[in-house]
Structure 1
Amino acid sequence: MAVGHAFRDMPFGSIHVKIGAILFIAWAIEAWEMLILTYVAGDLATSLQIGPTQVGIAISALFLGMIPGSLLWGPIADRIGRKATCAWSFAGYGVITLLSSFAPNFETLTVARFLSGLVFSGLFTITFPYFEELLPVKSRGKASVYLAAGWPIGILAALGTSALVGGHGWRWVIAASALASLWGIVLYKVVPESPYWLARKGRNEAAHQVLQRLGARGISRDTIFTSAEGKTGSIWSLFKGKLGIITVIQILINFTFSWGYWGLQTWMPTLLQDRGLSASSSLSFIALSAVMMIPGYITASYLTGRFGRKWIFNIYVLAAGGGGAYFATASTETEMYIGMFVLAFFSLGAWGVWDTWMGELYPSATRGSGFGLGIFGQRVANTIAPSLVGFLLASTTGATSTILFINMFLFITVILGLFLPETEGRELE
């Protein structure tokens, strides 16, 4: 029997809530780590005596490390399993991040942040596919979108850490982030291995045990589970035939969508201060925006479960683009709030749907590799966007034109999203 069929009539139970909560916190830690330097950029610049361009490079170094990391960890996750990937990624991230807090200069910090991104990308690459491979078919879309809500919680955690510890300097903030890696122990102890991966490895009895724990019923112990054929961890196979078209489109979507969101997010404190808000008011504004992301996830979760991935994703991205354009042309503080809140509500709801949709496009043997290629597209955008946006803001382009330029990438994302297949209600392969 195809292992995916065991999830067809599986009820959604307390075990799924527990797994979801653990992976939710892991996802929040990922957001925390990705944003933490942004909120202590001023102290970082003063402490290391560097300018805005070098601060942008230090922020981008984490994402630069995730570019090769995402290409490496996807195939690794398909080979050694989802659980082991999370454990090794968490452990490596904790050690390297703690060491980076002692960096004596800009060059050392940049190298350390690059290495942090290299090892941390394992967790980022596999968290969503891992969760999806443990969920019932009927609940997969709704529950996976809720996992993405860990992102605004991570933003709030980064802001809170900066506010509470930032007075002691950026080094203490980074050290506090490193301690979050201990959550990997909880994940390894509680979250079971994916039955899809176990079935592919011929570990039939272990797959039965996990499925029983997840609530599968009426499956004989004599049943031998099968999974979709495919060369495990083969990136090149993802560029062949119809799957190749899907791969190219999803990489482009990850690039354009990430550029449209991240290009604005990384420079948001600066943009807000240029509009007349104080540094403390800017951080409060960002915190309120993060809160607005949560109902965006809730509505996206409900709607994607009813109407599928394609239309909800495209409508939300389009609405986010409208909010960004309104923010760019706002002439009053009230209009700024409205535009930013619309952008936050719809863009993060769209991210939740997208993270769910992307993992469903691939069979189990290459799901980690396919998701890793998507993260690769995101990280290329994350690396380029902060520096280019910083250059545009420093030039005569102006804030409004720069924001509208960033926003253009969201509209390109909508066009690309029309060409991917719907996956709601389908068994994973």
Structure 2
Amino acid sequence: MTATDTRTLPIGAAFDRMPFTRRHVLIALALFIAFVIESWEQLALIYVADDLGTSFGIDEGGVGLVLSAVAFGMIPGVLIWGPIADRIGRLPTSFWSLVAYGVIALASAFAPNLPVLLTLRVASGLALAGVYTITFPYFLELLPTRQRGKAAVYLSIGWPIGILAAIGASLALGHLGWHVVAIASAAAGLWAFAIRAWVPESPYWLAARGRQAEARAVLRELGSPDWDATFTVTTERVGNPLDLFRGKLARITVLMLLLNFAFNWGYWGLQTWLPTLLQEKGLTLSASLGFAALSALMMIPGYVSASWLTGRFGRKKVFLSYVAAAAVGGLWFATASATWELYAGNFVLSFFSLGAWGVWNTWNGEFYPTALRGTGYSWATAAQLVATTAAPSAVGALLAASTGFTPTMLIINAFLAVTVLLALPLPETEGRELE
């Protein structure tokens, strides 16, 4: 093909006829494990919180600060890394972020006192924010249009796998102290080298930066029959946060930020203190960990069902239905009067809330054009992390004030109802090309 007869296509069109290949499976595995690591890091110390409190002589409020520290560091981190990912690329952002996280997490295992531990936990969050922000947009930008929603929801299953890994590490290593669990977390930073080896740079990003030859090479590698075209993009203005609040994007951005905060507050408010809340209902610590593990297992069929349904009914209908059903499960859990009702209510809550998260992780990454996708997703993630930071301390304060199990759960559950209302005006993106 000569320069004079080269076809010109929007970059998204190159993914319309693309098959789902073995290379996509390898990419999915690499980014799936990255998401497992992200889940692990935010949850691992929750299940050794008693040893952490004893080691530093701190109460529930102090433990809540330690648990929130990573999220606190990730808030400025995602706002920094998102525009960086739009400027330097998805691959280098993922690689250097995960390497830096591993080094800092290892140092935190040897913190001599609480101030140093808090500082290092904040710094590890700052580092981890890069891969945390870009994992889903990166994956979306490598998938065929038809499989984008289904495959991206499956990627979300990495979250309950990370929970199970954190629980398993706590049971297997917890008797050795929280330091050993922290060292195990740091070792996960080595996965950065697998990502660099297996995951190519995003063709969307390459085309947006004018690197046509490299974009064609990746598309050919991914099996696109349209790899030899010249690709156009909607905008080349890269990573400017102010563009999120201009024109038609402004309304979406405001709704997206509020929804991310409300949805994540409802989730983290429960997960962070689930073992403590269950002990208030009479379960032992061992039984509470088993309960949390079963809840994580229930998340997996929630993701699988949401993945199947989103391709059939669209992102919006499935998300709204699942969040509403999760709120019903949360109400059942909050008002449970018997142990079996605790299990049943929380299983319904886990099934539907995490299925909804799988849809949202995909939907949330499809609102913005390529030049702003990393930046837009970083702001969404920042809103989630503000909630992640606030929820453990707020629920800890409620527990310290002897608010009780049921009122605390009802407060947490109210955020799910708000999430439904905020999602109603958002546009459907199922089956649409990314810009």
Q: Same fold (TM over 0.5)?
A: yes
**C-alpha distance in 2 between matches for 1:218 and 1:329:** 56
Taking the aligned partners of 1:270 and 1:170, their CA distance within structure 2 comes to 18
Indicate the larger mover: 47-56 or 329-338: 47-56
Q: Paired residue for 2:343?
A: 337
Q: Return the alpha-carbon distance in structure 2 between the equivalents of residues 414 and 181 of structure 1.
A: 36
Partner of 1:392: 398
Distance 2:226 2:156 in 1: 32
Normalized against structure 1, the TM-score is what?
A: 0.99
For residue 195 of structure 1, what is the aligned residue in structure 2?
A: 203
Q: Are 1:207 and 2:207 counterparts?
A: no
- Give the Å deviation of 1:230: 4.4
Within a 5 Å distance, the mapping from 1:114-263 to structure 2 comes to 114-219=122-227, 221=228, 223-263=229-269
1:218 Cα deviation after fit? 4.5
Distance in 2 (alpha carbons) for counterparts of 1:413 and 1:170: 35
After superposition, the Cα gap between the structure-2 partners of 1:325 and 1:201, relative to the gap in structure 1 and judged at 3 Å, is same
**Which runs of structure 2 are paired with 1:30-429 in the superposition (5 Å)?**
30-219=38-227, 221=228, 223-429=229-435
- Residue identity (%): 58
| Structure 2: tracts of 5 or more residues without a match | 1-8
- Is residue 21 of structure 2 the alignment partner of residue 13 of structure 1? yes
Q: In the aligned structure 2, how far is the partner of 1:302 from the partner of 1:149?
A: 14
Amino acid at match of 1:179: A
Distance of 2:144 and 2:13 partners within structure 1:
10
> What is the CA deviation profile of residues 334-369 of structure 1, one whole-angstrom value per residue up to 9, with x for unaligned ones?
000000000100000000000000110000000000
Query: Which residue in the other structure is 1:25 paired with?
Result: 33
CA distance in 2, matches of 1:187, 1:217: 25
SS of 1:320's partner is: helix
Q: Distance in 2 between matches of 1:398 and 1:284?
A: 22
Query: Partners in 2 of 1:159 and 1:396 — Cα distance?
Result: 27
Cα distance, 1:102 vs. partner? 0.5
Three-state SS of the structure 2 residue aligned to 1:121 is helix
Amino acid of the structure 1 residue aligned with 2:190: L
Summarize the Cα distance change of 1:396–1:160 in structure 2 as closer, same or farther, 3 Å threshold. closer
* Aligned residues: CA RMSD: 0.8
Tell me the CA shift for residue 150 of structure 1.
0.3
Q: Distance in 2 between matches of 1:48 and 1:397?
A: 26
- Deviation (angstroms), 1:231: 1.8
- Between the aligned partners of 2:132 and 2:425, the Cα distance in structure 1 is 25
Kept after mapping to 2: 8 A contact 1:230/1:366: no
Supply the distance in 1 between the matched residues of 2:402 and 2:218 (Cα, whole angstroms): 59
Asked if structure 1 preserves the Cα contact closer than 8 Å seen for 2:149 and 2:430, the reply is yes
- Deviation of 1:50 after TM superposition, in Å, equals 1.1
Distance 2:389 2:196 in 1: 30
TM-score by length of 2: 0.97
Q: Is the 8 A contact 1:50 1:106 kept in 2?
A: no
In 2, distance between residues paired with 1:218 and 1:390? 54
Residues matched between the structures, number: 427
Structure 2 SS opposite 1:225: strand
What amino acid does structure 1 have at the position aligned with 2:159? W
Taking the aligned partners of 2:343 and 2:139, their CA distance within structure 1 comes to 34
Residue type of the partner of 2:118? T
Separation in 2, partners of 1:264, 1:254: 16
| Conservation of the 8 A alpha-carbon contact between 2:209 and 2:236 | no
Match of 2:6 in 1: none
Cα distance between partner residues in 1 of 2:107 and 2:138: 29
1:252 partner letter? L
Runs of 4+ in 1 over 4 A off after TM superposition: none
Please report how far the alpha carbon of residue 397 of structure 1 lies from its aligned counterpart in structure 2 after TM superposition. 2.2
Distance 1:378 1:335, change over 3 A: same
Once the two structures are TM-superposed, the CA of residue 17 in structure 1 deviates from its matched residue by 1.2
Secondary structure at 1:137's aligned position in 2?
coil
